[in-house]
């Protein structure tokens, strides 16, 4: 399991989140605590949705 924004492995860390893509709902978006905090952009690999 990797952060979609930075590629960091999140399994052993706390503070990460998982949610379905807000646009298509087909892909699970995983974000590490750091990328959430700095509002690092992510892109859904299925539909191209860009989120903060």
Q: What is the pLDDT of residue 21?
A: 98
- Number of domains within the chain: 1
- Rounded to an integer, what distance in angstroms lies between the CA atom of residue 38 and that of residue 40? 6
How does residue 5 score in pLDDT terms, banded at 50, 70 and 90? very high
- Rounded to an integer, what distance in angstroms lies between the CA atom of residue 23 and that of residue 50? 9
Q: What is the pLDDT of residue 24?
A: 98
Q: What is the pLDDT of residue 9?
A: 93
pLDDT per position as a tens digit, 6-44: 999 998 888 999 999 999 999 999 999 999 999 999 999
Residue 2 belongs to domain spanning: 1-52
CB 36 within 8 A of CB 14: no
């Amino acid at each position: 399991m990797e952060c979609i924004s930075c590629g960091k492995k999140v399994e052993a860390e706390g503070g990460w989140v998982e949610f379905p893509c807000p646009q298509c709902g087909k892909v699970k978006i995983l974000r590490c605590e750091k990328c959430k905090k700095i509002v690092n952009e992510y892109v859904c690999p299925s539909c191209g949705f860009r989120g903060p």
